[in-house]
Amino acid sequence: MHAQRPSLDPAVAEVRLAVRRALTGLDAPVIVVSLSGGPDSLALAAATAFEARKAGTRAVAVTVDHALQDGSADAAQSAAEAARGLGLEAVVVRAEVGTAGGPEASARDARYRALADAARQVGTDTVLLGHTLDDQAETVLLGLARGSGVSSLSGMAPVRVDDAGRWVRPLLGVRRATTVAACAAEGLAPWLDPHNHDPRFTRVRVRERVLPVLEAELGPGIAEALARTAEQLREDAEAFSEMIEETIEDIVEHAEAGISVSVAALAANPAALRHRIIRHVVASEFGESLTRAQTLEVARLVTDWSGQGAIALPGCSVSRRGGRLEFTAS
């Protein structure tokens, strides 16, 4: 009689499946796993160790020490040791955190730079990140609070490629409670970062105060609903981006001191596409982001023209000359 194989814990199975799906089609012989030591990244590291071994992929855990609190170096080394215990290669890197943009943004920027550098050192551009469905819901709520439009409400993409590398988030459909349960089932002891419970940070207040109130008052499933909203908006944003790329070649011309756009073509497009084209021109040509109010002011040069003069914008100015809007570096 054959001995019965022990059943796989459902939380472990869910995390492994999410990682397996993310790795499929990546075509990356080497991957980096961002490992803070917390339950999300530790569950991700454990699942990656299992799935990468089956796929014949080399996986390296990278722990970033921000040196922002006492004991951070010890916590980073403990995370690396946990990774080695899972069968992963592991390195610890130090990140220099600046002061621009606030502590949360500065630490995040420093972490991404350190991860990108570490990935290059091991010969890859692919980094797995442990953001969960709960992180996605928090991101959407933060975007709502800032009123920053579809780009923020779209949340985090499962795969994002930029100049620094390819950032993959396998766990965006997995709840934080599942990663905690997966660690417990595998006998892993996550490090609980005190900063994750510090109410000075906006995201912590959203996590510990705002989302629980919404769940209590509106019923369960709020986090999942916010994540679905992000996914739908991201699909819309991607469609708009394709439309912009197709449209912009026909309506934009380079001018001596900047760039110009056909007024008639802008007027012929729906407002949503018109506004996106205006923002795209300023972002791509001058590296600046426009607010909603600034975008509408520029759009009035198209839809409500009464001879008004040039409008000063971040990094440039725009004026209407004949049948074109001219954007000029300031």
For the segment 98-127, the average pLDDT, to the nearest whole number, is 85
Measured at the CA of 32, the angle between CA 112 and CA 12, to 5 degrees, comes to 110
**Portions of the chain given CATH number 3.30.465.60:** 256-329
Spatial contact of 240 and 247, defined as CB atoms under 8 Å apart: no
Classify burial at 296, counting beta carbons within 10 Å of its beta carbon; exposed 0-12, middle 13-18, buried 19 or more: middle
Spatial contact of 126 and 166, defined as CB atoms under 8 Å apart: yes
Give per-residue pLDDT as tens, 189-217. Answer: 998 888 788 888 888 999 999 999 999 99
- On the question of pLDDT at 78 being above 80, the answer is yes
For the segment 152-164, the average pLDDT, to the nearest whole number, is 90
Q: What is the pLDDT of residue 18?
A: 98
User: Which has more pLDDT, 252 or 71?
Assistant: 252
Q: Which residues contact 47 (CB under 8 A, 6 or more apart)?
A: 12, 15, 16, 18, 19, 170, 182
Q: How far apart are CA 209 and CA 207, in angstroms?
A: 6
- On the question of pLDDT at 321 being above 50, the answer is yes
- On the question of pLDDT at 310 being above 90, the answer is yes
**Portions of the chain given CATH number 3.40.50.620:** 10-226
User: Which has more pLDDT, 4 or 146?
Assistant: 146
Q: H helices of the chain, where?
A: 10-23, 39-55, 72-85, 103-121, 133-146, 150-153, 176-185, 202-205, 211-218, 222-251, 263-268, 271-286, 292-303
Give per-residue pLDDT as tens, 262-296. Answer: 999 999 999 988 998 999 899 988 999 898 899 99
Starting from the edge strand earliest in sequence, which strands make up the sheet with 89-94, in order?
89-94, 58-65, 30-34, 126-128, 165-168, 159-162
Which two structure tokens, joined as six digits, stand for 176? 């934080």
For the segment 91-112, the average pLDDT, to the nearest whole number, is 78
Q: How confident is the model at residue 254 (pLDDT cuts 50, 70, 90)?
A: confident
Q: In DSSP terms, which residues pair with 326 in a beta bridge?
A: 260, 319
Q: How far apart are CA 37 and CA 126, in angstroms?
A: 19
Q: Return the top range by mean pLDDT from 58-72, 91-105, 165-179, 257-271.
A: 165-179
- On the question of pLDDT at 1 being above 50, the answer is no
Q: Residue 327: in which H helix or E strand, if any?
A: strand 324-329
- On the question of pLDDT at 101 being above 80, the answer is no
Q: Does residue 58 come out as left (phi exceeding 0), alpha (psi in the -120 to 50 range) or beta?
A: beta
Q: What is the pLDDT of residue 168?
A: 98
DSSP 264: H
Q: What is the pLDDT of residue 148?
A: 65
pTM of the model: 0.83
- CA distance readout (Å), 297 to 165, 251, 305, 309, 319: 36, 20, 11, 11, 11
Give per-residue pLDDT as tens, 44-53. Answer: 999 999 999 9
Give per-residue pLDDT as tens, 14-29. Answer: 999 999 999 998 989 9
Q: Which residues contact 135 (CB under 8 A, 6 or more apart)?
A: 40, 156, 172, 176
Q: What is the pLDDT of residue 103?
A: 64
- On the question of pLDDT at 5 being above 80, the answer is no
Architecture of domain 10-226: 3-Layer(aba) Sandwich (3.40)
Q: What is the pLDDT of residue 176?
A: 96
For the segment 309-322, the average pLDDT, to the nearest whole number, is 94
Q: What is the mean pLDDT of the chain?
A: 90
User: Which has more pLDDT, 213 or 146?
Assistant: 213
Starting from the edge strand earliest in sequence, which strands make up the sheet with 311-313, in order?
252-255, 258-262, 324-329, 316-321, 311-313
Give per-residue pLDDT as tens, 119-138. Answer: 999 999 999 999 999 999 99
Residue type (1 letter), 90: A
Q: What is the pLDDT of residue 200?
A: 86
CATH number for the segment(s) 256-329: 3.30.465.60
User: Which has more pLDDT, 64 or 240?
Assistant: 64
Spatial contact of 273 and 240, defined as CB atoms under 8 Å apart: yes
Residue type (1 letter), 1: M
Q: What is the pLDDT of residue 256?
A: 72
